[in-house]
Amino acid sequence: MTAQRNEPVLIWERVMPDDPSIPWLREQGFDVRLGKPNRDPDYRRHLEADFIADAQGCQGVLISGGIRVTREVMAALPGLQVISKIGVGVDTVDVAAASDLGIAVCNTPGGNDSVAVAEHAMTLLLALRKQLHVWTRGYLQGGGWRSPQVFAGGLDGSTLGIVGFGRIGRALAQRVAGWNVRVLVHDPLARDLPEGVRAVDMAELLAQSDAVSLHCPALPGDRPLLDAAALARLKSGAVLINTARATLVDAPALIAALDAGGLAGAAFDVFDPEPPARDDPLLAHPRVLSTPHVASWTWEGFFGRRQQAADNLAKVVRGEAGAAIVNATP
């Protein structure tokens, strides 16, 4: 079944000009409008006003994570029926406001992104322990070699603290099984923990873990989960991995903890804003390993998420069942 009235929809934050979700939606009969692609030099300067202008008259919008859809934005878009978000997290959308306004908010829980993100977190953990952020190609090209000033470490016999034990946290725990790693988790909603995984409060997790990996949603108001006080409770010599949300960690407090020497290293795949400014202190810190939000950046995952987002949008606009809707609408 195709759309009957050539309904206008907006695809915002395109990455590739040949995104297959574009012709697919057009084949379904939708009038597809295109926002600026992510590669546009002005992408970081997009304002809410740009989004509102592009989305005027649209019944559905397909977005990624670079625009915050606030109550004010939604109120300026009469006729909007659905906000289809690429990815599982919907913290960039005011879901409560959408519910009040009768707008469906969808996400893309399908696919195997949890495995990809867990693998990336595991990679960052190993890279920190093996000092790969120190022993870089540039280090060797500059004449550097191994020295007693820096020794590698390992995971054997260590304790990993996982904050947030949803699909990604569980996938990470599964991947360290067999590595002789003790796993502690903090997640008030976690049930049916795997054998060998123990639930603890946040204070115990920070005090006991040799590595902490974050896999939880952003907190209300984007307040940090790990502020200066929490970072001070980390076990001396621990490392921190964040593939979840940048706002979970107080960046200035993290840099202070790294400079003080108690925290051995940190790895980040997420930033605020994204992409980060070139002079972001995290990028220059010698104990920080950074990647450009690529934990789930696989060919299969990327196009699978976009296709599911397009399918969600189409189903809601048509009034069909089966869309992955995360909110209740009047």
pLDDT at 2: 46
Strand pairing class (8-11; 197-199): unpaired
If asked whether residues 121 and 233 sit together in one domain, one would say yes
What one-letter code names the amino acid at 66? G
> Which DSSP state fits 66?
S
Crossing angle of helices 113-129 and 167-176, in 10° steps, is 50
Q: Are residues 17 and 139 in the same domain?
A: no
Amino acid at 323: A
Does 327 map to a domain?
no
Asked if 72 and 100 count as a contact pair (C-beta separation under 8 A), the reply is no
Residues 148 and 202 in one domain: yes
Residue 270 and residue 131 share a domain = yes
- Tell me the C-alpha distance between 246 and 234, whole Å: 18
Residues in the chain: 330
Question: What's the pLDDT tens digit per position in 278-293?
Answer: 999 999 999 999 999 9
278: containing domain: 114-290
The CATH number given to whatever domain includes residue 80 is: 3.40.50.720
With beta carbons less than 8 A apart as the criterion, state whether 80 and 58 touch. Answer: yes
Q: Which residues of the chain have pLDDT under 50?
A: 1-3
Tell whether 324 is covered by a domain.
no
Based on the domain organization, do 173 and 281 belong to the same domain? yes
| Amino acid letter, 259 | D
Residues 197 and 220 in one domain: yes
Confidence (pLDDT) at 5? 59
> Based on the structure, what is the number of domains in the chain?
2
At 84, which helix (H) or strand (E)? Answer: strand 82-85
Enumerate residues 6+ apart whose C-beta is below 8 A from 64: 12, 13, 38, 85, 86, 87
Please check whether residues 286 and 311 belong to one and the same domain. no
Please tell me whether residues 59 and 34 are part of one structural domain. yes
Q: Is residue 184 included in any domain, yes or no?
A: yes
What is the Cβ-side half-sphere exposure of residue 275, based on CA atoms within 13 angstroms? 14
Q: CA 251 to CA 266: how far, in whole Å?
A: 11
Residue 1: what pLDDT? 44
326 domain residue, yes or no: no
Same domain as 238, residue 168: yes
- Does 323 map to a domain? no
pLDDT of residue 49: 85
Q: Does residue 30 fall inside a structural domain?
A: yes
313 assigned to some structural domain: yes
Residue 300, judged by CB atoms within 10 A of its CB (0-12, 13-18, 19+), counts as exposed
Which residues are CB-neighbours of 323 under 8 A, at least 6 positions away?
A: 82, 104, 106, 311, 312, 313, 315, 316
> Which of 53, 56, 43, 51 has the alpha carbon at shortest distance from 70?
51
pLDDT for residue 66: 76
pLDDT of residue 299: 85
Does residue 149 belong to any structural domain of this protein?
yes
Strands, E assignment, 150-202: 159-163, 182-186, 197-199
Same domain membership, residue 60 and residue 103:
yes
Kindly list the catalytic residues: 245, 274, 293
Indicate whether 30 and 160 sit together in one domain. Answer: no
Query: Within this chain, do residues 133 and 269 fall inside the same structural domain, yes or no?
Result: yes
